[in-house]
Chains A and B, each alone.
Chain A
Amino acid sequence: MADSSANAGLKLESMKVVEGSYALAHAVMCCSPDVVSAYPITPQTHIVEHLSQFVADGLMPSEFITVDSEFSALSALVGSSVAGARCYSATTSQGLALMFEVLYNVSGMRLPVVMTVANRALSAPLSIWNDHQDSMGVRDSGWIQLYAESVQEAVDLTPIAYKIAEDEDILTPAMVCMDGFILTHVYEPVQLLDLETVNEFLPPYTPKIVLDPKNPKTFGAFVDPSMFTEYRYMQCQAQNKALSAIERADREFSEIFGRSYGGLLEVYGGDDAEVMLIAMGSVSGTIKDTIDELRSDGVKVGLTRIRSFRPFPVEAIRKAVADAHVIAVIEKDVTVGNDGALVSEIKAALYNSKVGIPVIGFAVGLGGRDVTVADVKRAVAKALAAKDGRMDHEFEFLSLREELL
């Protein structure tokens, strides 16, 4: 579950027990997208089915474009977005991989599309279950990436993502990443959003320049080597501006809805943490439970939960881990040929800083394997050993089943 400040905005009597995908689709409906285009793929399918149903039932006045593939889904949104529409899509895994080329077009053309990624492993071997290898694989595509811990947070991040993406100083597409099955298919109490309050938080999308046959323009034009660098630079600047916009959007959301998640990251467990765990997404719930257990045994453990992976909040991370003695990154991906993407970036973030503590990383939950309290305790034990100068591995597969190898 979310932390206490997130829970503060929840009123039990008005919460509903719904499936994560329904709650998410309902949140999308409340954001009033003009155009939805998505291709069904497990475990994202229910989101798209619910949206399709909302449109068919007349609850949602959006244009729902059915397409032959994820490539077409996102391409349809490129055209819709330059025509001035607020656009939404959802995908996962192989579908996200098929969108790869279009992802760069959307971000390079500065189109504020919002997309839910129901995180799932990439084939081969074929797996329909959760990990973060799909969204981490498109890390460099120029999209903002926000990771949700709970269904409620994925719901709340949807209007927040639009608010950040459509900010005229940012104009950058955003992915809301929610763990496939773990969040998309779970039934839990959720405070559903409502159209009126979302409208209060999220102003209508009014782009300054749109595709118009009466005033034709070229969008995403050819650029020769004398200017390409500057276009990428402008995208990086926009992502830098998103750092403060994410914090601001979290505050504004909290003022209206009463729920706050901490902006770029959430720190859990207290200021005195010697072992600082770092993670993203739903595994943070298990980690928090483990921290509560370990704390009652006197082990000073904390969690820095990264909510924004792009932009990567370097300064906020340095601040969050400043007093820790060791860092253990627990991540649901592996960069085959090196270590995990998150641990690499954490180490890079700390290298030119005053923080000079050991950093170790663990790949967990790949292809949907459950991550248990015992797993997290194992990571903490290894972190404590590393703190005392016994670092067996900088990066390893946690709870590897060596009997199968």
Chain B
Amino acid sequence: MKLSLGAMAEPGSTRVTKTGAWRTFVPQLDHAACIKCSLCEIYCPEACIHQVDGLFVPDLDYCKGCGVCANECPRKAIEMILEEK
């Protein structure tokens, strides 16, 4: 990759550049406790929690580990766990 003059970027650059590397905590979902209210999907500021085969799953390529989902979950079915890399 060569740098563009003046830091010019094409739109949609995060399709290539993953932005989840800053994360300290990672959400862990207890699917048995989940009532599928979808509040985690709605409140996620990165819009990176998606329904996959009926289950809510964070996209860890973009999840910043902010914990908003865990805070909003009415069943406390999401726990933020220290991510060890």
- Is the pair B3, A221 in contact by a Cβ cutoff of 8 Å? no
The CA-CA distance from A38 to B13 in the complex, in Å, is 35
Give the interface segment out of B4-12, B36-44, B58-66: B4-12
Query: Across the interface, which residues of B come within 8 angstroms of A108, CB to CB?
Result: 6-7
- Is the pair B11, A221 in contact by a Cβ cutoff of 8 Å? no
Which A188-242 residues have a C-beta within 8 angstroms of B?
209, 216-223, 227, 230-231, 234
A interface residues, tally (CB under 8 Å)? 18
- Is the pair A231, B3 in contact by a Cβ cutoff of 8 Å? yes
The CA-CA distance from A372 to B3 in the complex, in Å, is 51
With A217-B10, A217-B11 known to touch, is A110 a contact of B3 (CB < 8 Å)? no
The CA-CA distance from A110 to B5 in the complex, in Å, is 7
CB of A171 within 8 A of chain B? yes
CB of A109 within 8 A of chain B? yes
Q: Which residue of A lies closest to B2 (CB)?
A: A230
- Is the pair B8, A217 in contact by a Cβ cutoff of 8 Å? yes
The CA-CA distance from A219 to B5 in the complex, in Å, is 9
With A218-B13, A221-B13 known to touch, is A209 a contact of B8 (CB < 8 Å)? yes
**Chain B 4-32 interface mask (CB, 8 Å, partner A; 1/0):** 01111111010000000000000000000
Q: Which residue of A lies closest to B7 (CB)?
A: A221
The CA-CA distance from A234 to B3 in the complex, in Å, is 9
The CA-CA distance from A108 to B5 in the complex, in Å, is 9
B11: contacting residue among A110, A216, A230, CB under 8 A: A216
- The binding surface of chain B is classed by DSSP as mixed
Chain B nearest Cβ from A87, distance in angstroms: 14
Number of A-B contacts (CB under 8 A): 39
Query: Across the interface, which residues of A come within 8 angstroms of B6, CB to CB?
Result: 108-111, 171, 219-220
The CA-CA distance from A223 to B8 in the complex, in Å, is 10
Query: Across the interface, which residues of B come within 8 angstroms of A217, CB to CB?
Result: 8-11
Q: Which residue of A lies closest to B11 (CB)?
A: A216
Q: Which residue of A lies closest to B10 (CB)?
A: A217
B9: contacting residue among A110, A111, A221, A230, CB under 8 A: A221
Which A273-324 residues have a C-beta within 8 angstroms of B?
none
Query: Across the interface, which residues of B come within 8 angstroms of A220, CB to CB?
Result: 6-8
| Most A C-beta atoms less than 10 A away, residue of B5, B10, B11, B13 | B5
| Most A C-beta atoms less than 10 A away, residue of B6, B7, B10 | B6
- Is the pair B9, A234 in contact by a Cβ cutoff of 8 Å? no
The CA-CA distance from A230 to B10 in the complex, in Å, is 19
Query: Across the interface, which residues of A come within 8 angstroms of B7, CB to CB?
Result: 108-109, 219-223, 231
Give B residues with C-beta under 8 Å from A.
3, 5-11, 13
- 14 residue pairs bridging A and B, Cβ less than 8 Å apart: A108-B6, A108-B7, A110-B5, A110-B6, A171-B5, A171-B6, A209-B5, A218-B9, A218-B10, A219-B7, A219-B8, A221-B7, A231-B3, A231-B7
Which 9 residue pairs of A and B lie closest in terms of their CB atoms, listed nearest first?
A: A110-B6, A221-B9, A109-B6, A218-B9, A221-B7, A110-B5, A216-B11, A219-B8, A220-B7
